[in-house]
Amino acid sequence: MNILGIESSCDETAVAVVANGTDVLSSLVLSQVDVHRVFGGVIPEIAAREHLKVIDQLVHAGLSEANVCLQDIAAIAVTQGPGLIGALLVGVSYAKGLALGSGLKLVPVNHVHAHIHGALVGKEAPEYPCLALVVSGGHTNIYYMKSPTQLELMAYTLDDACGECFDKVAKLFGLGYPGGPIVEKMAKTGDSQNCKMPRMVEDSRKLVFSYSGLKTYMVNLHEREKLQLTPSRVADVLAAFQDEALGQLVRKLQSVRRLKPQAKMILIAGGVAANLRFRQLMAQEIDIPVQFPNLKYCSDNAAMIAGMGYHLYQTGLASSADFDDISWDCYSRYPYEKT
């Protein structure tokens, strides 16, 4: 069963065709990163207009690369939220039009939940129950997963997301955007032992993340040392920052694991999952199987939307022809989120 996935929640327009939830027939991603780089972050109005320019062509290209036409598609899955409202509107409106015109069912997909399916496409089905960490530019959530669509939110960030913190620290050091890959590259040449970082939300019973204190510490360090910051000192500072930022993820996963000992494995998803130091730390500290996505499915893509859409469709969570049975409200970020 083929699902057409459409993603436009932030600064990537993406289209994919995925068979049976995991076999990727096509996955096209058009990143706007070069357009936004000059501003040091995503400009929502520009993002929406960039999506609008390319979405129709990209859907045609995605179908053609998969060697299918609309008659071969069972349903259209589209990112409903969370995300930038103008950007989301482009994808949702396009998908609604396509569904109305073609008679296909429409499946609204939560972008954050779908990231987990980025760790599943192209792989064997995981063993349930499992834990899943979504760690991206907008979210730092741990879920307990009983099935591909049953997610219980166990931990979330009180303030900044982990990836957002990488981006802000990179900006502070004048390293460009997006910050995660640049910080990782620079940190590789540094020694984290040469710089002490504060430990955030140390109490292991607290199932929350917090990154704003670490960010403020970095702002103050930069202010204090800016006249003496040699390249090797910057590398040491970034290595220490990275280890603390990633260490918090590992520690909270360990806490949730103690609460849910029945979890058989851990899935990691989202942009920060691309970080190789994170993969190393997880291998050192976690003693159950950990599954990371292929690098191309860490950051935003539509294969993950189609992957999740497949399972939602199987459980009957698709729209009727007039879309009246779906709340098109976008999801909020924290404990109020719909599961």
Residue numbers at the binding site for ligand KG4 (CB under 6 A): 10, 136-138, 163-164, 166-167, 178-181, 184, 270-272, 274-275, 299-300
Q: Which is nearer to Zn ion, 137 or 190 (CB)?
A: 137
- Shortest distance in whole angstroms from residue 54 CB to ligand KG4: 18
8 binds Zn ion (CB under 5 A): no
Q: Which is nearer to ligand KG4, 104 or 118 (CB)?
A: 118
108 binds, among Zn ion, ligand KG4, none (CB under 5 to 8 A by kind): none
- Residue of the chain from 13, 27, 32, 136 that contacts Zn ion (CB under 5 A): 136
Structure token digits, residue 112: 């954050």
Q: Which is nearer to ligand KG4, 138 or 318 (CB)?
A: 138
180 binds, among ligand KG4, Zn ion, none (CB under 5 to 8 A by kind): ligand KG4
- Residue of the chain from 11, 12, 184, 300 that contacts Zn ion (CB under 5 A): 300
Strand partners, 81: 110
Strand order in the sheet with 266-269: 208-209, 151-157, 140-145, 130-135, 266-269, 290-291
166 binds, among Zn ion, ligand KG4, none (CB under 5 to 8 A by kind): ligand KG4
- Shortest distance in whole angstroms from residue 115 CB to ligand KG4: 6
Structure token digits, residue 71: 């008659």
Q: How far is CA 56 from the centre of its chain?
A: 24
293 binds, among Zn ion, ligand KG4, none (CB under 5 to 8 A by kind): none
Strands 290-291 and 266-269: parallel
- Shortest distance in whole angstroms from residue 300 CB to Zn ion: 4
7 binds, among ligand KG4, Zn ion, none (CB under 5 to 8 A by kind): none
Single-letter amino acid, residue 239? A
Q: Which is nearer to ligand KG4, 91 or 271 (CB)?
A: 271
Single-letter amino acid, residue 184? E
Task: Let me know if 213 is exposed, middle or buried by CB neighbors in 10 A (0-12, 13-18, 19+).
Answer: middle
Q: Which is nearer to Zn ion, 74 or 77 (CB)?
A: 77
Q: Which is nearer to ligand KG4, 73 or 162 (CB)?
A: 162
Structure token digits, residue 8: 């436009």
Catalogue the E-assigned strands of the chain. 2-7, 12-19, 23-31, 73-81, 105-110, 130-135, 140-145, 151-157, 208-209, 266-269, 290-291
CA distance 113 to 107: 14
- Shortest distance in whole angstroms from residue 86 CB to Zn ion: 17
Give the interface segment with Zn ion, choosing from 78-86, 188-196, 261-269, 293-301 (CB under 5 A): 293-301
Could you give the count of Cα atoms lying within 13 Å of 336 in the half-sphere of its Cβ?
A: 6
DSSP state for residue 41 in the 8-state scheme? S
110 binds, among ligand KG4, Zn ion, none (CB under 5 to 8 A by kind): none
DSSP character string of 236-288: HHHHHHHHHHHHHHHHHHHHHHHH-TT---EEEESGGGG-HHHHHHHHHH--S
Q: Which is nearer to ligand KG4, 73 or 161 (CB)?
A: 161
CA distance 217 to 225: 12
- Shortest distance in whole angstroms from residue 281 CB to ligand KG4: 12
Residues that bind Zn ion (CB under 5 A): 136, 300
